């Protein structure tokens, strides 16, 4: 049975990514993150709007799966189909998440006492780590679109970083705020999210439409009530 565990886990991952709803979910979350981290006080968008957007997005993704995915492929309980050793699986997930988090926040550990505390490099590490994860997932699961999205994420991460925009600041002004100075990282971090959002939505949307086209609803057993 142990020999089949990797293939079972791979099938579960493929099931989760096949219909594109996860990408659309992440794309919408990225959009609300970009709105949340916007560097300027205008347009006036309360933080509560982003929080509500996050919550609505999660429920929307769940409804899409319930309405369109499960009638075509059925509901898969990932916990029961996985290794069966939930504690070990949970600990492995925690370890992987910790490694990803530490990788993203490396600038804070290396430059925490210098300059802006490493914030200027946050977009680079975040975009690169997410890009690498997507690229590896794309090759492992056999979904080239994930690898393409990962490459775009990595490319934007390099573009919106001190490698290209080193130490720059920008000044905005209007009647309400005549002199508003914003460092480059404070602009490019939300810009990364807002640029990646349509990429993820497009990738997930195309996958979702292909999934609907290639997977008609399952025929109900005539003996079932």
Which has the minimum average pLDDT: 39-43, 81-85, 197-201? 81-85
Flag the least confident range among 10-14, 24-28, 109-113.
109-113
CA distances in angstroms from 48 to 24, 44, 65, 176, 186, listed in the order given:
22, 12, 26, 22, 20
Q: What is the mean pLDDT of residues 47-72?
A: 86
Gap between the Cα atoms of 152 and 145, Å rounded: 11
> Using an 8 Å Cβ cutoff, are 181 and 169 in contact?
yes
> CB neighbours of 156 closer than 8 A, spacing ≥ 6?
127, 192, 195, 196
Report pTM.
0.79
pLDDT at residue 119 greater than cutoff 90 = no
């Amino acid at each position: 049975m142990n020999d089949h565990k990797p293939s079972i886990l791979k099938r579960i991952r493929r099931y989760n990514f096949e219909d594109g709803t996860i990408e659309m979910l992440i794309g919408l979350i990225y959009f609300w993150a970009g709105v949340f981290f916007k560097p300027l006080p205008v347009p006036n968008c309360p933080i509560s709007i982003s929080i509500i957007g996050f919550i609505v997005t999660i429920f929307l993704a769940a409804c899409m799966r319930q309405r369109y995915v499960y009638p075509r492929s059925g509901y898969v309980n990932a916990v029961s189909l996985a290794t069966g050793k939930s504690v070990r699986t949970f600990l492995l997930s925690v370890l992987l998440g910790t490694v990803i988090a530490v990788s993203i926040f490396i600038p804070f550990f290396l430059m925490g006492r210098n300059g802006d505390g490493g914030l200027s490099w946050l977009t680079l590490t975040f975009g690169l780590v997410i890009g690498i994860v997507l690229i590896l997932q794309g090759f492992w699961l056999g979904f080239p679109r994930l690898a393409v999205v990962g490459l775009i994420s990595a490319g934007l991460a390099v573009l919106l970083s001190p490698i290209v925009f080193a130490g720059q600041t920008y000044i905005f002004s209007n009647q309400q705020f005549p002199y508003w100075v914003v460092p480059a990282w404070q602009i490019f971090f939300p810009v990364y999210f807002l640029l990646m959002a349509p990429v993820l939505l497009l990738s997930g949307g195309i996958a979702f439409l292909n999934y609907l086209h290639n997977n008609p609803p399952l025929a109900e057993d005539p003996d079932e009530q």
